[in-house]
Amino acid sequence: KESQESQKLKQDLIIAAMSVFLIISLLLMLGCSFLHYKLVTKDNTTSKQE
């Protein structure tokens, strides 16, 4: 019984770590794309003003 419980705990920990890693990578991707979009729009506005 104890070994089964510890195994389940390990599985839960692995799943939690994976989900956290996925969320972090998604946030990084979103942040990078947002920064890139802001930079591109900034370049467009400056070039239009010229």
Domain containing residue 19: 1-44
Report the alpha-carbon angle 7-10-8, nearest 5.
45
Count the domains in the chain: 1
In this prediction, residue 46 carries a pLDDT of 67
pLDDT at 36: 92
> pTM for the full model?
0.62
pLDDT, one tens digit per residue, over 7-40 is: 999 999 999 999 999 999 999 999 999 999 999 8
Q: Is 31 among the domain residues?
A: yes
Asked whether residue 2 is domain-assigned, the answer is yes
In a domain, 50, yes or no: no
Indicate whether 50 pLDDT > 60: no
Q: How far apart are CA 3 and CA 18, in angstroms?
A: 22
What is the pLDDT at residue 42?
82
Q: Look at residue 23 and tell me if it is in a domain.
A: yes
